[in-house]
Structure 1
C-alpha cells in the first residue's frame, strides 16, 4: 500500500489522490484500505510516518556540539523540503487514534536521545532532551507550519548555538 501511495504521489498532485486509485495500484479493493486505515488522510499519515524513520542513527561527529548541530541541520533540511512539509501536513491531517504526530515526536526524541547518550559516554554534559525539543525542534516546526517565509538555512544551527552557548 505504501509503495502504491508513494508511486501515485510521484505521478499526480496529492489533492487528486483517491482511495480507489491507491487500491487499484495496490491490487486490492477500496474496502481493504477503509478497513485498515479508515480514510485517505490516515493512510497518507502512515506513509509519512515511514519517511520519518531515519535509515540509520545520527552521525557521530566526535562531540556533542558537532553531533547536535549536524543533526539539527539535517533535520531542518529534511523537514523544510517539499516532501518534508507534505509529510508534516499528512501526519497532522490524520484523525488516527494512534496519533501519528506523537509517533513523529517519539522518532525525533529517539534520534536526539542517541546523541545525548553518546555525549554522556564521552564524558560530556548534554542538555535535557526536553530543552533540545523546546529550543530547537519546536521553533523549527512552528516556522514550517505557520509561516510561509523561507527559513534561513542556518536557523537550526543558530538555535542549537543559543542552546549550547546561552550567554551568546
Structure 2
C-alpha cells in the first residue's frame, strides 16, 4: 500500500497568497490610511476568500502587525565594508531606499498607527525595535572587534534612523544622499 503524502513546497501557494495579501494591505494603507478598510476589502484586492485571511491571521490587526514587521524588517544583509563609517553609511542608504520606495511611506504610517492600537500593536512596535536593534548590533559588534570605537544601537536609532523616519512620515522627502551621509557623519563626530 503506497499512500501518497501531500508535498509541501516552500514558496508554493501559501507563500504566494501571503505575498498577495501583504501587497493588498500595503496598497490599501497607501490609498486610504490605517483603519479605513476591512478584511473583506483586503481579501478582494488579494483575490482570496475572507475565511483564508481569518484562518491564517485571525484578525485584521494581526495581519497588519505582520505586514508592518515583515516589510520593515526585510532589509538587506547588514553591510560589512571593513569600517564602521562605511558600514553605517551603507546601512543608512539602504534604510533610506526602503522607506522612500513605493511601499515605504505606507508601511511606516502603518507601523506608527499600530503602535497606538492596543496590545498587539504595541507588541509589533516592540518586535520591530528589537529586530532593528539586533541588526544594528551585529554591525556595531564587528566594529568593536576591529578595535573601532562605536556608538550604541540606540544612538544610531536616535541620530540616523529617527530623523529619516520623521521626514518620510511628514512628507519631507527625498532623503538625498548628502542628507543621509550628514546624519551618519554627525553621529560619528559625536561618538568619537
TM-score range, shorter chain: 0.7 to 0.9
Q: Is contact 2:21–2:43 with CA below 8 Å preserved after alignment?
A: no
Tell which structure's C-alpha radius of gyration is larger.
2
SS in 2 for 1:82: coil
Structure 2 distance, partners of 1:3, 1:85, is 18
> Deviation at 1:158?
0.7
How many pairs align?
Answer: 164
Aligned-partner Cα distance in 2 for 1:91–1:10 = 11
Deviations 1:125-157 (A, max 9, x none): 111222111111121212222x32323412222
CA, structure 1 residues 28+103, in 2 after alignment: closer, same or farther (shift >3 Å)? same
1:104-126, CA deviations, whole angstroms, 9 ceiling, x for partnerless residues? 22222112111101111212111
Matching residue of 2:147: 123
Does 2:91 match 1:71? yes
The RMSD of aligned alpha carbons is 3.0
Of residues 75, 100, 106 in structure 2, which corresponds to 1:80?
Answer: 100
Equivalence map 1:7-156=2 (5 Å) = 7-8=23-24, 14-15=31-32, 18-23=38-43, 25-29=47-51, 32=54, 36-37=58-59, 39=60, 41-54=61-74, 56-94=76-114, 95-98=117-120, 99=122, 100-145=124-169, 147-154=170-177, 155-156=179-180
Query: Stretches of 4+ moved more than 6 A in 1?
Result: 10-13
- Give, in whole Å, the separation in 1 of the partners of 2:26 and 2:163: 30
The alignment's TM-score, normalised by the length of structure 2, stands at: 0.71
